[in-house]
Structure 1
Amino acid sequence: MLAQKIKNAPKSAGIYQYFNASGALLYVGKAKNLHNRVKSYFRFSEQLSASPTLSARITKMIHEVENVEYIVVQSEHDALILENSLIKQLKPKYNILLRDDKTYPYIAINLADPFPRFEITRKITNDKNMKYFGPLSGSAKALLEALYLAFPLVQKKGCLKEKKACLFYQIGRCLAPCEAKIETASYAKIVQQALESLSEQKKLLHLLHVKMEEASLKLNFEEAAKLRDLMRSIKESLHVTHVELSTLENYDVFAIEIVEKTAVIMRLFIRAGKIVSTSHSFLHHVHGFDKEELYQRALFEFYQPMHQTFAHHILVAESFEEADALAVFLSEKFNQKITISTPQKGEKRHLISLAKENAHLLLLQHITKQHTSITEQLHALFDLTALPKRIEIFDNSHLGGTSPVGAMVVWDEGFLKASYRHYLLHHKDEYAQMREMLERRIADFKKESPPDLWLLDGGKTLRQLALGLLKEARISLDVLAIAKEKIDAKAHRAKGSAHDLVYGKSSALKLAPADKRLQFLQKLRDEAHRFAISFHQKKKRSKDLSMELLSIEGMGQATLKKLVSYFGTFEAIYAATQEELEVTIGKKMGEKLFQSLNK
């Protein structure tokens, strides 16, 4: 049956999907000609077998294939988009899944404003008055903070609206354009200096160093330490030595290094002949990597978001089969000529060598640091299908049976707090609450790819629930559940002796309380529980503080909204000085509020 399906494959562009005997999806691929592509995987003799030209990883996959299905599309470009979408949603066992498909941050400024200020953005607009610096990686926040410490710019978004000089003017961090204490032409010169310092970060670092020394001489050690940390953050954002090309061209440089089951993608961003930032991603796959496939996916994922700027010249350390087709696809997508090349000499070859060298060093450091990591131990212990690099942990909670909420925390070589999620739930029993939360997460797989592992705070029943939901969605994903052992129908959680059971593919596993693998899973579960509980506490505290503020004479919903919008949190409102409150809600009300809060 399989041989017949392969021979009858359509001769048009499309997607092919390989399944094993149990119907689990193994691999999703695209092809300009499905018939030729699928047939190339096999050798037809007395018995269907894997082609001898395949890599070890793909050969292993072919030995598991029992069925193949096709989706025909209009063009090779459509196939490329559909392939990417299916891999992200369904997470096939043998495909490489990349998760760095979000736009990178930029520092932006609107030069059309009379007194413009810098901001971090991830969305690029086609406006000639907007100037962008980037793409940046982890250094965006540090650079922005450094600009506002080094130059007397408008510090807050709402400053100019108040028409009155604030605390920043008093401490010399702003020149009060709100009171017309500086002309637009003079302010524009300061903006130009700030822009130059972004391009020449040595200038910015020098300014920070001077301010750090001044703070130290004034015995303001807290400010000096803050400046020191900012300088360190900016320096560490560039993993490469200073490079300045003879031509003021823009390049995006990609290099990939692989050692067994670990790979690193290194990117250099060259703007106007200078490296403005770098970024890298580590990848782990139980079945290893194919470098050509990894280059293709790395480029496709990086240039997938529409709202970003990029170089029209892409340099890759090694050529790959799909490079020309991908360049055509990107050119048509962005309606401008984009090239993908592997330079062999000159300055561009030097950039490639630099990227490869840094990729190699990063990978060696990473492997040395990991060395039989806890996730590899979990992979072996529970016979997981994928190395659990990225883990999502779920817990649900309620207050006396009311206001149920769910929490999802994420682990990826550390807790990724930016990826945490809260869920306001509608059901009262824990089973239905978990079902609602998991269904909503599965629905989000189109926007945010599945992880390698789910960990649930619960027992066998909740694990079976999760597996059932994933099967309905045809998604391959490992699931573990951790629950407190029941003794006399009560959860046993004696201090120093946490008797937890872990549910995997086999029966419940009881590990010793001192077992590092159990402690790691407990750490993940406890973080999800803490996040859920803190959400309840924060909601209750915010409600209490809100009611307290509204009880003050003259305080209404509009004034309260203005305070929250400016300060961000109720805690910040309570900690504000009288001057800050007066700037926000006026002198009379600010004074009254300050006195009420400090009785």
Structure 2
Amino acid sequence: MLTNTLKNAPENAGIYQFFNASGMLLYVGKAKNIKNRVKSYFRFSGELRASPLLSSRIAKMISEVERVEFIVVQSEHDALILENSLIKQLKPKYNILLRDDKTYPYIAINLAEPFPRFEITRKIINDKNIKYFGPLSGSAKALLDALYLTFPLVQKKGCLKGKKACLFFQIERCLAPCEGKIDTASYAKIVHQALEVLNDQKKLISLLHVKMEEASLKLNFEEAAKLRDTMRAIKESLHVTHVELLNLEDYDVFAVEMMEKTAVIMRLFIRHGKIVSTSHSMMHNAYGFDKEELYQRALFEFYNPMHQTFAQNILLADFFNEADAMRSFLSEKFGMKISISVPKRGEKEHLTALARENAKAILMQQRTKNSTTLLEQLQSLFTLHSLPKRIEVFDNSHLGGVAPVGAMVVWDEGFSKSSYRRYALHYRDEYAQMKEMLERRIADFSKEPPPDLWVLDGGETLRKLAETLLEKAGVHLDVLAIAKEKVDAKAHRAKGSAHDLLYAKEQSLALPPHDKRLQFLQRLRDEAHRFAIRYHQSKKQSKDLALTLQSMGGIGDASIKKLLSYFGTFEAIYQASEEELMLTLGKKLGSKLFTNLKK
């Protein structure tokens, strides 16, 4: 069956998907010619088996393949986009999923303004008057602080609106253009000096050092400490600071290094012959990595956002087979000639070697850290498919079926509160509530890719529910559940003494209360519970306030909609003045409502 499918595969550009015997998606790949690509994975002489030319990771995958499906598209470019979309949504077992589809910060200044300020932005606007410095990584805020500590610029966005010199003028950090104490031409010279040192961070650090010594001599130790911390942040954000090229061009430099089940993607950003910033991504994968795939995914993810600047010359430390296709894709996407090359000598080769050495150094630093981290211990304990760096935790809350809500909190090297989600639910029982919430989250995978792990507040029944929903959607994702200890038939949440049960696939554990792994999962569960309870209380309060309003004569659903449209919340309605209520509902009804609310 599989042999016939492979031999009859289409010879068009498109996507191929490998599935195992249970129907789980193992791998998504793209190809210019699907038939040639899928046949290259197999040896057809005798029994069908993996080609001896494959890496151990891919050979293991092929040993599990029972079924293959194809999607034909118009071009190789379309295949690349579809492949990326499917990998993010479905998270196949053997694909490498990067989470670098983010925009990097820049420092920007609008020179068209009479007294411009430097600001951090993540969006590039096509305006010749705006100058951008970047892309930056962790150094953006430190560099911005350094500029305002070093140069007497307009310190705050609202400074000019005051029309009166403030504290910054008194401490000699601003020259008070708000009072006309400096003209635009003189201010422009200061901006020019700031732009020069922004492009030469060694000079900026020297200026900060001078300022720090001056502050110390004046016994202004708080200012000196701030300058010291800013210098340290700038230095630490750059793995490399000593490179200056004779050729004042822009380059984006990529290097990939791997060690066992860990890989690092290192990026150097060269602007006008100087390294302005660096960034790196570290990944862990139980099945190892393929360097070619890492390069392809690193380039696609970095250049996918449209609203950013980039160098037209991309330098790689290693050649990979898809480089020409990627160059063609990027050139077409951005409407300009993009070059991708692997330099063999000279300054460019020095840059790629530098990126490679930094990637190796990061790998070694990681290796010399604690032998196993808490997340690695969780991965080992529950035999998780991947290291659970990003975790989504779900809980729901209601009171006798009233105002049911769901909450999702996210752990990503700490609680990522900007990623939290709230769900207004419609069912009265907890099973149906969790099902509704998880189905809605799965539907959003195309916008927000799946995490590495789901943790549910509940028992084995809810864990199996989650696995069923994920399997139906074709998504490979680890799921754990944590069930609260019952004391006298009530959930027991005592810190440090709760004997909660943990559920994984074909596994249930009762770890001792002092176990750090249990305490970590309890911390995740408790944060989700807190977030869910808070939303439930807010929703119930709003419902109670709405019922109170409706009990007042003449206030129906249409009137409540008008009031919410104007005031935004029920609390604001209850605090409104009589004039505001009359303006919203009319003189008679508004006055009547105000009188009733004040009783």
TM range (shorter): 0.7 to 0.9
CA distance in 2, matches of 1:178, 1:31: 61
2:422 maps to 1:423: yes
Letter in 1 for 2:195: L
- Tell me the SS of whatever aligns to 1:282: strand
1:344 aligns to what? 344
- The C-alpha deviation readout for 1:263-287, integer Å capped at 9, x for no partner, is 0001100000000000000011111
In structure 2, the CA distance between the partners of 1:147 and 1:398, relative to structure 1 (3 Å rule), is farther
1:131 aligns to what? 131
- The C-alpha deviation readout for 1:301-349, integer Å capped at 9, x for no partner, is 1111111111111111111111111111111111111111111111111
Contact 2:124/2:309 (8 A) holds in 1: yes
CA distance in 1, matches of 2:210, 2:404: 52
2:199 maps to 1:199: yes
Letter in 1 for 2:333: K
**Deviation at residue 488 of structure 1 after TM alignment:** 2.9
Letter in 2 for 1:417: S
1:361 aligns to what? 361
1:563 aligns to what? none
Structure 2: any 5+ residue segments left out of the alignment? 542-567, 582-599
2:183 aligns to what? 183
2:477 maps to 1:477: yes
In structure 2, the CA distance between the partners of 1:287 and 1:156, relative to structure 1 (3 Å rule), is same
2:14 aligns to what? 14
1:376 aligns to what? 376
CA distance in 2, matches of 1:281, 1:538: 39
- The C-alpha deviation readout for 1:559-584, integer Å capped at 9, x for no partner, is xxxxxxxxxxxxxxxxxxxxxxxxxx
2:100 maps to 1:112: no
1:585 aligns to what? none
* 1:148-163 correspondence runs (5 A): 148-163=148-163
CA distance in 2, matches of 1:458, 1:211: 57
- Tell me the SS of whatever aligns to 2:351: helix
**Deviation at residue 401 of structure 1 after TM alignment:** 7.8
* 1:70-89 correspondence runs (5 A): 70-89=70-89
**Deviation at residue 353 of structure 1 after TM alignment:** 1.2
In structure 2, the CA distance between the partners of 1:193 and 1:530, relative to structure 1 (3 Å rule), is farther
2:142 maps to 1:169: no
2:331 aligns to what? 331
- The C-alpha deviation readout for 1:163-218, integer Å capped at 9, x for no partner, is 34344334433323233332111111111111112111123223333333343344
**TM-score, L = length of structure 2:** 0.86
In structure 2, the CA distance between the partners of 1:295 and 1:495, relative to structure 1 (3 Å rule), is closer
Aligned residues: 552
In structure 2, the CA distance between the partners of 1:466 and 1:172, relative to structure 1 (3 Å rule), is farther
Query: Which deviates further from its counterpart, 55-64 or 403-412?
Result: 403-412
In structure 2, the CA distance between the partners of 1:535 and 1:242, relative to structure 1 (3 Å rule), is farther
- Tell me the SS of whatever aligns to 2:445: helix
- Tell me the SS of whatever aligns to 2:266: strand
- The C-alpha deviation readout for 1:144-179, integer Å capped at 9, x for no partner, is 122222222222323333434344334433323233
CA distance in 2, matches of 1:230, 1:272: 24
Query: Which deviates further from its counterpart, 175-184 or 400-409?
Result: 400-409
Query: Which deviates further from its counterpart, 438-447 or 327-336?
Result: 438-447
Letter in 2 for 1:425: A
Structure 1: any 5+ residue segments left out of the alignment? 558-599
- The C-alpha deviation readout for 1:490-511, integer Å capped at 9, x for no partner, is 2234453221111111253211
In structure 2, the CA distance between the partners of 1:166 and 1:466, relative to structure 1 (3 Å rule), is farther
CA distance in 1, matches of 2:371, 2:43: 39
2:291 aligns to what? 291
**Deviation at residue 107 of structure 1 after TM alignment:** 0.6
CA distance in 2, matches of 1:442, 1:492: 31
Contact 2:409/2:417 (8 A) holds in 1: no
**Deviation at residue 392 of structure 1 after TM alignment:** 1.9
CA distance in 2, matches of 1:370, 1:497: 27
Query: Which deviates further from its counterpart, 451-460 or 166-175?
Result: 166-175
- Tell me the SS of whatever aligns to 2:369: helix
CA distance in 2, matches of 1:348, 1:392: 42
Contact 1:20/1:26 (8 A) holds in 2: yes
Letter in 2 for 1:385: H
Contact 1:407/1:422 (8 A) holds in 2: yes
1:454 aligns to what? 454
2:65 aligns to what? 65
- The C-alpha deviation readout for 1:44-103, integer Å capped at 9, x for no partner, is 133211111111111111111111100000111111111111101110000000101111
* 1:200-219 correspondence runs (5 A): 200-219=200-219
Cα RMSD (Å) = 2.9
- Tell me the SS of whatever aligns to 1:466: helix
1:575 aligns to what? none
* 1:431-510 correspondence runs (5 A): 431-510=431-510
CA distance in 1, matches of 2:10, 2:289: 28
CA distance in 1, matches of 2:367, 2:246: 36
In structure 2, the CA distance between the partners of 1:222 and 1:97, relative to structure 1 (3 Å rule), is same
In structure 2, the CA distance between the partners of 1:507 and 1:281, relative to structure 1 (3 Å rule), is closer
1:572 aligns to what? none
1:322 aligns to what? 322
CA distance in 2, matches of 1:6, 1:146: 60
**Deviation at residue 298 of structure 1 after TM alignment:** 0.8
CA distance in 2, matches of 1:482, 1:219: 55
* 1:30-45 correspondence runs (5 A): 30-45=30-45
In structure 2, the CA distance between the partners of 1:425 and 1:174, relative to structure 1 (3 Å rule), is farther
1:565 aligns to what? none
Letter in 2 for 1:247: N
Contact 1:253/1:267 (8 A) holds in 2: yes
In structure 2, the CA distance between the partners of 1:46 and 1:428, relative to structure 1 (3 Å rule), is closer
**Deviation at residue 556 of structure 1 after TM alignment:** 9.9
Letter in 2 for 1:455: V
CA distance in 1, matches of 2:356, 2:132: 28
2:278 aligns to what? 278
- Tell me the SS of whatever aligns to 1:508: strand
